[in-house]
Structure 1
């Protein structure tokens, strides 16, 4: 069955990166493509109407070019509203299997209070969101699956497999664990060797738990590299991704809206912010809520 990819564009070089990745995925999966541009409706109606007309012409030109040059089934849509909620709603209405965004611009004051477009979209979208940060260069070669052994992690693995965007890639499965007593041991002047032994014990326990978790996942443990590390989750994942030259990080999100989502989804949002490569953020299924 042909998949459907929705790609957000604002005609910038950032969104061009997302479009190029979306075109490559559409050709390789295969999938149809929908280009979406959001116009801020918080301005005079006359200006909004003019922007809708101009934007529609630009999108039609892009769609015509993609159809002719790439042979992809492609259409476009202009939406009035805020980019975060509007993109999530559009993805649901269109039945999109994947929503592709470009890297975020330099942080503004609005982002500080309300979050970036990717973060706001994550809070409303039921479709997985691919943030295209890296320069598109063929298929993904090394994928880092960031998991916490929850149902949300199972959802992320299942969706990643179902999308088929990393079929030929090497896979590293990473779990960042919390050696809770390590900080207290440091504060109470426990010997370094004892602290190191404790952390190593926790690492072995985490590795065993990972293998147990994988027994019920649609992935072959023999074909992946398993890593358990202690530290700050987002920073550790970003560091490991750089060390192994990962070009895609896959992470599950938690909750769906409100304060619960703001707190529980912060790890995924930080990974998108701190990582240098593409990130696939997978929202939870109904069973995980």
Structure 2
């Protein structure tokens, strides 16, 4: 994992802003962060030309007011400011495009966005950012608290699962090495198992055995930094492994879920993976980190040049 030296935090003047600023403070504490861009995007204003002619400072005053409001939230909730430069950025236009363009221009290492549940408004369009961003994305639900005791890492033993687990290991090491990492594999019993002559229970045992074998192969290729990695195996009964992941996160009181974006090259980066997509959709409780090696984006230039 690269250092998170440049961080973008997406604020929208809701109560969720305080939570996002606290997480930004938490992330920056151990990451040698040098620059944080606190960002607010105003939707297209469509103010009549006649009004702007009569009040020429209207937009400039609005921008300055929003910057002051962001600064007030930061001053109240950011616990460490030494050696970190803050920048307050207000843009007008389509939310996701403006954030992606800023991340591209500033070569950001991480974007922090909110996940609204009960608060008014829609929040940031996290799926679009997860597909297009050229860096990792941290999605923070309402009322989440920045803690580091237990991290859940769903894994299918693929390369992008390896990225996620390595990220978790480095994060835990940075925060003192005391947090527990739980690596969860969700397996499904194939519908045609009965043609093998095995009972349901027998085939479940077979699937579990292979999951355990595959984990041992998987973990051999990862530098665990001597941290304890606890594997758990969960049987999926309803063809939706994401429900099993969220249920396990609730059971263990996870402080966060880390999953790798499926796209590892420019040609495949739009495909963040069905599991990551579903987690972004369904998870309303746990901070979710979607990891992507910096610079592995798809079509970002074509996308932002449409602005």
TM-score, length-normalised on structure 1? 0.80
**Structure 2 match to 1:178:** 188
| Unmatched segments (≥5 aa) in structure 2 | 53-57, 299-307
Deviation, 1:106, is 5.8
Distance 1:89 1:161, change over 3 A: farther
Rg: which structure is higher? 2
What is the DSSP-based 3-state SS (H/G/I as helix, E as strand, rest coil) of the residue aligned with 2:27? helix
Q: Does residue 197 of structure 1 match 2:202?
A: yes
TM-score, length-normalised on structure 2? 0.76
Distance 1:222 1:77, change over 3 A: closer
Please identify which structure carries the higher helix content.
1
CA contact (8 A) 2:160 2:264 kept: no
CA contact (8 A) 2:131 2:272 kept: no
What is the DSSP-based 3-state SS (H/G/I as helix, E as strand, rest coil) of the residue aligned with 2:217? helix
CA contact (8 A) 1:251 1:282 kept: yes
In the alignment of these two chains, the number of paired residues is 279
Q: Does residue 58 of structure 1 match 2:66?
A: no
Deviates more, 1:121-130 or 1:157-166: 157-166
Distance 1:126 1:75, change over 3 A: same
Deviation, 1:4, is 2.7
Structure 1 stretches of at least 4 aligned residues deviating more than 6 Å after TM superposition: 260-263, 285-289
Q: Aligned ranges for residues 1-289 of structure 1 at < 5 Å?
A: 3-32=5-34, 33-41=36-44, 43-44=46-47, 46=52, 51-63=62-74, 70-72=80-82, 73=84, 74-105=86-117, 117-133=125-141, 135-163=143-171, 164=174, 167-179=177-189, 181=190, 183-185=191-193, 194-219=199-224, 223-231=228-236, 232-255=240-263, 265-275=273-283, 276-283=285-292
* Superposition RMSD in Å: 3.7
CA contact (8 A) 1:123 1:256 kept: no
| Unmatched segments (≥5 aa) in structure 1 | none
